[in-house]
Amino acid sequence: MEDAAGDLKQALPNVCDSVQIHVEVHQKSSSVAKKEDIRMSVLKLLNRHNIVFGDYKWTEFDDPFLNNNVQSVAIVDTDLKLKDRQPIDLSTSSLSLHVFHLNEEGPTSENLEEENDDITAAHHWVLPAGPPGTGKTSLCKALAQKLTIRLSYRYRYGQLIEINSHSLFSKWFSESGKLVTKMFQKIQELVDDRDALVFVLIDEVESLTAARSAFKAGTEPSDAIRVVNAVLTQIDQIKRYPNVVILTTSNITEKIDMAFVDRADIKQYIGPPSTAAIFRIYLSCLEELMKCQIIYPRQQLLTLRELEMIGFIENNVSRLSLVLKDISRKSEGLGGRVLRKLPFLAHALYIQSPSVTMTTFLQALSLAVDKQFEEKKNLADCV
């Protein structure tokens, strides 16, 4: 294997050396193996496969120890470092291995009044948790997930508190200020644990900031502005701690007033998924469908990086991946939630058998995309 790797490196003169590569190792929830033993086995795996072409993920292993203890080994975020798309020589790269368990218990709800209160003020996750999606909120959760894994040498685990902005007004009218303070006191208890990296996510923050504008215009009751001022005050108090990250999302950016904007260190516009992002979404869905044998037999699909490496030339290996690339391109403009649903709608609408070949499934997916744009147009015409 080492001779073959050496031959491959000679055949690829532009192999990239001496870069930092992050390797995320998902340890099975049932595994009690020591992290150091897992690291050693993963390093042996990487030594056997030391030339890679960008992000890559192993889910099956020849090593029984890895099979028993590891869900996946993933080389990640190489796009951030390799703009010229050259292969990577892992043997000369600086490897950062991040071994982690996923918390599978799901979120708990934070209700600040009666225990049987059906209005949820916030959701609370222990990180790392389950896989993220593709929307703004999911991207914030993904960022929290990624930082928890990357900073595991400093913090033992992460805490994610997602605050329900709408509930601040719908339920807490008249006692809003005190209840916001009570909620942040609970957050403060998490922050006081220096082993925890705490993320506070305020979703749809424009519902808070709009209240300030309405109050100034004389159309909003004074209690509403007390909610907003209480949130701002509490944010100012906890953001001083080194183990706190505050995240907010908004669908209506023009509604956010400067009191919130000035507090943000980073402002990032998230538009619709690009062709590359859509390709990855579809690819992950197809992998799941092949794993369940809804698509059968299993077909090897190339990543966009691998298609680039062969110059997008069509052959027996690349043909289906190029079809998926074309479907991804014509899917531009669709949101992440819709894109995740489309492979399953394709099966429900256009496939009558319990299993289907990849070629037939991609034809159905293409039809489902066309139908989605047709429905959007019909809805727009009705407005």
**Stretch 112-121: mean pLDDT:** 55
Could you check whether the bond before residue 297 is cis, i.e. omega within 30 degrees of 0?
Answer: yes
Of residues 362 and 110, more confidently modeled: 362
CA distances to 4, 60, 295, 316 from 300, in Å:
22, 15, 12, 11
Q: Which of 197, 201, 182, 190 is nearest to 136 (CA)?
A: 201
Of residues 9 and 66, more confidently modeled: 66
pLDDT (tens digit, 9 = 90+) per residue, 88-102?
889 889 999 999 998
HSE value, Cβ hemisphere, 13 Å, CA-based, for 359: 4
Supply 82's token pair. Answer: 């390799």
Domain boundaries, the chain: 2-6+13-100, 108-261, 275-382
Q: Outline where the chain has alpha helix (H).
A: 2-11, 35-48, 64-69, 136-150, 165-170, 176-191, 206-216, 222-238, 258-261, 275-291, 304-309, 319-330, 336-350, 358-382
Q: What is the pTM of this model?
A: 0.77
Percent of the chain exceeding pLDDT 70 equals: 80
* Whole-number Å distance between alpha carbons of 280 and 304: 8
Supply 278's token pair. Answer: 């859509």
Backbone φ, ψ for residue 250 (5° rounding): -155, 140
Query: Concatenated DSSP letters for 276-301?
Result: HHHHHHHHHHHHHHHHTTSB-S---P
Of residues 358 and 91, more confidently modeled: 358
Q: Which of 331, 343, 310, 275 is nearest to 87 (CA)?
A: 310
Largest CA distance in the chain: 77
CATH fold of 108-261: Rossmann fold (3.40.50)
Percent of the chain exceeding pLDDT 90 equals: 47
CB 176 within 8 A of CB 223: yes
In the DSSP assignment, the letter for residue 13 is: T
